[in-house]
Amino acid sequence: MPRLVSSVVSCLAVAALAGAFAGSAALAAEKTMNDQQVSQLFASTCGFCHQKGGRMAGKGPKLAGTTRSDAFIVNRIKEGKEGAMPSFDGALSNSQIKGILHYIRNLKSE
């Protein structure tokens, strides 16, 4: 029985270290994501439906100048809208979603 307890404790310690490493790696990734990377992320993830980088309506609405709240936008990205927009929860990290929100807030209409 002590061997089993030792194995469980070892597994938990390894899992904790792995989680700490993943968290610090994600934090490092958050700090290095620049405007160009966010722009490319938006283009590859959102650009098919939100035309001209979100400056024009396509399959999805124009995002430049939106009056929706930050919370609404973040929720819509995470949860999607049935029949209209897929959920990106799990596909995008919180830092990527914050980057996309920042991108949307700084869009200028053409």
pLDDT 10s digits, 73-84: 999 999 999 999
- Residue 61 CA to residue 50 CA, distance in Å, equals 6
Question: Other C-beta atoms within 10 Å of 97: how many?
Answer: 19
Report the predicted TM-score, pTM, of the whole model to 2 decimal places: 0.69
Which residues are bridge partners to 57 per DSSP? 50
Q: Could you say which residues of the chain have pLDDT below 70?
A: 1-32, 110
At residue 66, the 3 state secondary structure works out as: coil
pLDDT 10s digits, 2-19: 554 444 334 433 344 444
pLDDT value of residue 6: 45
- Residue 49 CA to residue 32 CA, distance in Å, equals 27
Token code pair at residue 91: 């596909």
In this structure, is the dihedral angle defined by the CA atoms of residues 17, 23, 27 and 28, taken in order, positive or negative? positive
